[in-house]
Chain A
Amino acid sequence: MSTPDPSLIARASRGDRQAFAELVELLHPRALRFAQRMLGDALDAEDAVQETFIRVWNALPRFREGAPFDPWFFKVLGNRCRTLLDRRRRQMTQTLETELPGAPQVAQPDYDWNEEVGRVLAQLPTDQREAFLMHHVEGLSYEEISEVTGAGLSALRMRVKRAMDTLRVQLAGVANA
């Protein structure tokens, strides 16, 4: 797990640009992983990660040394992802309102495991997807996710459970194929 050393964060928070560059180098693959899974789009994910690091750079001087970095970082990143998702939803709504109804989309059979995982993950409600990724992929505790999202612990456990149930049911057939 590419969690930055506290001394690196401390240096970056004092305005050390070399330390910040090391932080970006260390964290950006993990940030991209989360953003790509949240947004389902590589370019949008890059935008979210870029905006996140710019915000982190501006806010790092106010970050309290010794405080857990991951929850704070994922709070910023999660907010950027949500903002992009909201913007995309509004654009889609506007597009749909101006288009004639077309043929219903029919899912094409596709048994590529990675694509299926991405497809099912994208179908999850944003809250469930976010909680599942933070807990099981990024390794945050429920307490940390609660700090990040503002949601209660029981609600978060329920979100993760529902996400797990959906993933298990939807992907069981693919896993056995």
Chain B
Amino acid sequence: MRDEIKDDIVLKRVVETLQELPPRNPALVARILAETAAAPVRLPWWRRFVLPLPAVAGLAAATLAIGVWFGSQRGGASADATAGLPGTSVATTPAAASGPGGAPAGAAMRPVGTDDEALMPVQFTIDHPEAKTVSVVGEFNDWNPEAAPLERDPSSGSWTTTIALAPGRHVYAFVVDGVLVADPRAPRAADDDFGRPGSVLLVKRP
């Protein structure tokens, strides 16, 4: 009972009444378990990784800078997100509005949207010279870390890939040496209610 109502006779009685639990409902439990028994267990890719906390902390402590640049007109949107970060990086994109700026996506990519929608090349770039592997994952590739690996530029240490995405809103993240990392330069996904980092990319129609 919260302090604000413990001395209120009426409300105290109301809350006590409302806090009474209904009896357990075996039929309902049986229905729920029967429904879910038919559903396959679909573990997301990160369940395959063992991510020791020190590794995550170490990665966070590193001067990691990742970013996606949404074309010239979207550059401002990422500025606030990088405040306080030693970021350098960035990346990419295409130019959803200003015309194709990159190569088509890899064959493994599954664009979101219908087949008749024009795909727009989106270039993702991160600046992380020490990383061994980097990929980008999102709803567009079922969060598969093997679908869109980034290639390292030996001269700059940045990693880049270009993929084709359908116009619309995409939620994505980077995987840096097995660690899922949201893009600090892009807006965070507000509907990320599973506690996983995610960023939002808007691809404009051509």
Contacts and interface: CB of A to CB of B under 8 A. Distances in A.
A106 interface: no
B195 A63 contact: yes
Interface residues of B, number: 36
B196 to A, nearest CB: 6
A152 interface: no
A114 interface: yes
Contacts, number: 108
11 contacts: A14-B43, A20-B36, A24-B29, A29-B21, A33-B18, A57-B36, A59-B194, A63-B194, A64-B196, A67-B195, A72-B193
A136 B29 CA distance: 26
Interface in B23-56: 23-25, 28-29, 31-33, 35-37, 39, 41-44, 47
A54 B32 contact: yes
A131 interface: no
B196 A36 contact: no
Interface of B: 2, 5, 8-11, 13-15, 17-25, 28-29, 31-33, 35-37, 39, 41-44, 47, 193-196
A123 B143 CA distance: 44
A129 to B, nearest CB: 11
A167 B18 CA distance: 12
Nearest to B195: A64
Contacts of A58: 39, 42
B39 A54 contact: yes
A117 B17 contact: yes
A61 B21 contact: no
A28 B41 contact: no
Contacts of B32: 24, 28, 49-50, 53-54
B5 A164 contact: yes
A66 to B, nearest CB: 9
Nearest to A59: B194
Given A24-B32, A30-B21, A36-B22, A61 B47 contact: yes
A37 interface: yes
B33 A24 contact: yes
A39 B194 CA distance: 26
Contact of A167 (B10, B19, B37, B193): B10
A167 B5 CA distance: 12
B14 A117 contact: yes
B194 A15 contact: no
Contact of B10 (A30, A72, A171): A171
A167 B14 CA distance: 8
B24 A57 contact: no
